Amino acid sequence: MTALFAKRALLQEGWRNDVRLEIDGLAIASVTIDTKAKPGDARVDSLLPALANLHSHAFQRAMAGMTERRGLSTDSFWTWRDLMYRFLDVLTPEDIEAIAALAFMEMQEQGFAAVAEFHYVHHQKAGMRYSNVAELSQRIIAAAKATGIGLTHLPVLYARGGLDNAALAGGQLRFGNSVEELLALRDNAVHAIKQQLSADSRIGVAPHSLRAVTQQQLIEIAKACTDGPIHIHVAEQAREVEDVLKATGKHPVRLLFDACDVNANWCLIHATHLDASEIRDMAQSRAVAGLCPITEANLGDGTFAAVDFLAHAGTFGIGTDSNICITAAGELAQLEYSQRLLHRQRNVLATSNGSTGQFLWHGAAKGGAQALQRNCGAISPGLLADLVAIDSDNETLGGLSSGQLLDGLVFAGCEAHVTDLWSAGRHCVKEGRHVARDAIAKTYRKALAGLTARM
């Protein structure tokens, strides 16, 4: 049994002072309020439920800064994608493991205790198969083990080059699988997770997008994988919406809902360009809106209709997607700021007479837990001990009351202020640094040097 004492903690009913937690293995065993610390207790300042990162492509962390140069033509998501394909052509299994470990470590140092890894790089260059079909999934699993982060692994089905059923080509060849191949890969990954990771780990599946799978494949993979979360990119780009509409006569989310029973097991990533009926039906389905505000801004995707979605009691969470800037608080700030720019108002997403930062944190904690099918999202007995401690005794946060603390963290922090983080009771960040930072960073630097030489 591990115990920690917090000067204050954000519980489901709000902030409470002098809170003592006991952690039994992976989960919170007890929460006592208005008490005193006991000898041997770990002591922290302000304790929050850590967030779950619901969408990551870990390998793209090593691309950060490589695509911010304007070309001769107008840059867009599609020109960025071409650069990404060329980058991943030179990645080895060792590179992918090293990059993922660095990204997962940085997520924990920034307040994420768990991650849903949307993993679509399965094969060698030109689509040649590894002798172990789950070689690269096992590299992701190894990175999760090295960092202690909670993993929901999402092997991706990517079966065609576009809505015209074009064959996969170029960088896409590393992604390609039939439904049968993907299910075999997933079974292999299930075994590896059971062998290497703790019981809080999960596995789901991810049909990549409506352009990358046929409607029949979408139905088949959803029926075959009812025991875990299902994530899909949908309506991220205006061009994608136009292409789906031209090919099928339907908008993307409408096409998805007509094909599958979209429910609380689903997470719809981005969902940027929806009509009013799609927004309503998505919210009422209880599927999570998987928002990645920093990446969506970086790629010029557009702005999610958060106000309308929340008006229908929709559930949202946040992800770091391309991992160009890994920050839990920063994703929440970008989400709110995108709405302020769109509506030309302030404090757009908060409920009436409430803290915007606190609303966003609670919402993302709830939605992330659902999207990962992870028993977390709050500080409460029986839930996983996914916890993050922040230091409020500094120049930025020091003058704020408890009710203002998350507003300061999200909108004025400019840095995480994380002192400690527990992923399912694993004390992975201490005094602001991941416990394995030096070794992970050293391995990453070596991999990056080799990667740079091959590019």
CA 1, CA 425: separation in Å to the nearest integer?
A: 10
CA 109, CA 104: separation in Å to the nearest integer?
A: 9
Residue 87 — pLDDT band, cuts 50, 70, 90? Answer: confident
pLDDT above 70 (res 202): yes
CA 161, CA 213: separation in Å to the nearest integer?
A: 9
Helix (H) or strand (E) holding 143: helix 135-147
321 as an active site residue: the answer is yes
Q: Which residues contact 385 (CB under 8 A, 6 or more apart)?
A: 21, 23, 26, 27, 28, 422, 424, 425
| Residue 78, pLDDT score | 59
Query: What mean pLDDT do residues 191-199 have?
Result: 97
Degrees, nearest 5: CA angle 101-102-105:
85
Residue 72 — pLDDT band, cuts 50, 70, 90? Answer: low
Rg (CA), the chain: 21
CA 96, CA 107: separation in Å to the nearest integer?
A: 16
Residue 353 — pLDDT band, cuts 50, 70, 90? Answer: confident
Render the burial of 276-307: b for 16+ CB within 10 Å, e for the rest.
eebbbbbbebebbbbbbbbbbbbbebbbbbbe
Share of the chain above pLDDT 90, in %: 88
Residue 249 or 79, more confident: 249
Residue 80 — pLDDT band, cuts 50, 70, 90? Answer: low
Q: Which residues contact 308 (CB under 8 A, 6 or more apart)?
A: 276, 279
CA 444, CA 59: separation in Å to the nearest integer?
A: 11
pLDDT above 80 (res 260): yes
**Is the Cβ–Cβ distance between 354 and 407 less than 8 Å?**
no
Q: Which residues contact 140 (CB under 8 A, 6 or more apart)?
A: 58, 96, 97, 100, 117, 119, 151, 153
Residues 247-259 have pLDDT tens digits of: 999 999 999 999 9
Least confident of 34-48, 68-82, 209-223: 68-82
| Residue 331, pLDDT score | 97
**Is the Cβ–Cβ distance between 359 and 349 less than 8 Å?**
yes
pLDDT above 90 (res 455): no
Query: Which one of the listed residues 57, 208, 233, 270 is annotated catalytic?
Result: 270
Residues 127-142 have pLDDT tens digits of: 999 999 999 999 999 9
Residue 68 — pLDDT band, cuts 50, 70, 90? Answer: low
| Residue 62, pLDDT score | 84
Q: Cα–Cα distances in Å, from 59 out to 15, 90, 155, 279, 301?
A: 37, 12, 14, 31, 20
Record the tokens describing residue 25, joined without a space. Answer: 């293995």
pLDDT above 80 (res 81): no
**Is the Cβ–Cβ distance between 268 and 282 less than 8 Å?**
yes
| Residue 83, pLDDT score | 74
| Residue 88, pLDDT score | 83
| Residue 211, pLDDT score | 95
| Residue 86, pLDDT score | 77
Q: Which residues contact 341 (CB under 8 A, 6 or more apart)?
A: 303
Record the tokens describing residue 415, joined without a space. Answer: 């840095």
270 as an active site residue: the answer is yes
**Is the Cβ–Cβ distance between 38 and 100 less than 8 Å?**
no
The pairing of beta strand 42-49 with beta strand 2-11? parallel
Half-sphere exposure of 156 (CA within 13 A, CB side): 27
Residues 38-67 have pLDDT tens digits of: 999 999 999 999 999 999 999 989 888 776
Query: What mean pLDDT do residues 265-284 have?
Result: 98
Number of neighbours of residue 274 by Cβ within 10 angstroms:
24
CA 23, CA 200: separation in Å to the nearest integer?
A: 14
Query: What mean pLDDT do residues 67-90 have?
Result: 72
Q: Please choose, from the candidates 271, 267, 268, the residue with its C-alpha nearest in 3D space to the C-alpha of residue 236.
A: 271
What secondary structure does DSSP assign to 361-383, as a single string?
HHHHHHHHHHHHT-S-SS--TTS
Query: Which one of the listed residues 200, 301, 321, 391 is annotated catalytic?
Result: 321
Quote the mean pLDDT of the chain: 94
pTM listed for this prediction: 0.96
Residues 319-347 have pLDDT tens digits of: 999 999 999 999 999 999 999 999 999 99
